[in-house]
Amino acid sequence: MSGLVSRTVLTFQHNAKLYSLPTSVLAVTPFPSLAEADRQLFKSAPDDDSLVVVVTKETIFHPQGGGQPSDTGSMSSSSSGNIFSVHAVRMSATDEGRVLHLGRFRSADSTSTTKPAPSFALDEPVTQNLDVDKRVLYSRLHTAGHVLGAAVRHLLESQVPGFDELKASHFPDSAACEFAGLIEGKWKDEIQAKVDEYVAAAMPVEVDFWTDEDFRANGLERLIPNGEGVKLAPGEKYRVVKIVGAEVYPCGGTHVDTTEQCGKVGVRKISRSKGTSRVSYNVS
């Protein structure tokens, strides 16, 4: 399979509110036939012949990564009537830039016992459809994580020795941002107030694409991705998300249009360990 398919166009990176997309099929592979490195991306998936991975020319499905869960949904073909339920999505570990959609087929005619097992043909036109409620929730959580990171930085960058933003998780049950330096619990109320201020201000959330020079021109050399986990195609730029009036983040995730659309962002807890601090949060 390696080298037989092109990079998947990440349509969601340009329009996170596109919930349905016509595209075409580039590959259909039984899950057990995947390269071991790709199977390991789906840690909880059984070694089941009914599980299939579909690769398409474009995708609106966000693969799990960058602290954001993968989208779920379906793909359907009007010509064959077959439907593919998308359970999980990952970036391939063996074919750079290829997006793997894991799931199962079901036929529009579920009563037939004579038709072959449903599938898609190569180059077959299909329509992708997202689970919209999940996409909106994940977008709110991801933007809220950036709002929290910006609030903590603006409050504590000069107050906490060795301060820096490290990483974040935007999963619904474990959303948190991690920072270098020890943030005392006494800051919780002030962080919450700053987060509330940013959310109420309805700051625009804008997506842009930058080169190294753009980071430097904006005085943000510290944000230039170091290459680890960042694989750009020739001629591509880094995708950045700007919370206008607060911070800029290199980010491939999906977001809402303004900070107000995050809803209520609650600062839950501050914990400290081995020189780092973890600030957990939720949205409601």
Q: What is the pLDDT of residues 189-222, one digit of tens each?
A: 999 999 999 999 999 999 999 999 999 999 999 9
Position 50 pLDDT exceeds 70: yes
Distances (CA, A) of 3 to 6, 11, 39, 120, 241: 7, 21, 17, 20, 31
Task: Kindly state the DSSP code that residue 60 receives in the 8-state scheme.
Answer: -
Instruction: Look up the CATH number of domain 135-283.
Output: 3.30.980.10
pLDDT for position 3: 42
Q: Where are the beta strands (DSSP E) in the chain?
A: 9-10, 20-30, 52-56, 58-59, 73-76, 82-91, 99-107, 125-130, 164-169, 176-180, 205-210, 238-243, 247-250, 265-273, 276-283
Distances (CA, A) of 223 to 103, 218, 235: 36, 10, 20
DSSP 209-244: EE-HHHHHHTT-GGGS--STT--PPTT--EEEEEET
Task: Please give the average per-residue pLDDT across 251-265, as a whole number.
Answer: 97
pTM for the predicted model, two decimal places: 0.93
Task: Please give the average per-residue pLDDT across 120-134, as a whole number.
Answer: 98
CATH architecture of 9-130: Beta Barrel (2.40)
Q: Is the distance from CB of 234 to CB of 97 less than 8 angstroms? A: no
Cα angle vertex 204, ends 66, 162, to 5°?
50
β-sheet with 276-283: strand ranges across: 164-169, 176-180, 276-283, 265-273
Cα angle vertex 181, ends 177, 183, to 5°?
70
Position 121 pLDDT exceeds 50: yes
Position 1 pLDDT exceeds 50: no
C-alpha 69: how far from chain center:
6
Per-chain mean pLDDT for the chain: 93
H helix runs in the chain, sequence order: 36-39, 132-156, 188-200, 212-217
Task: Please give the average per-residue pLDDT across 1-26, as a whole number.
Answer: 86
pLDDT for position 263: 98
Q: Among 123-132, 164-173, 212-221, 226-235, which is the least confidently predicted range?
A: 226-235
Length of the chain: 284
Q: Which is it for strands 164-169 and 176-180: parallel, antiparallel or unpaired?
A: antiparallel
Q: pLDDT tens digits for 63-116?
A: 999 999 999 999 999 999 999 999 999 999 999 999 999 999 986 555 554 467
Task: Kindly state the DSSP code that residue 38 receives in the 8-state scheme.
Answer: H
Domain edges within the chain: 9-130, 135-283
pLDDT for position 2: 41
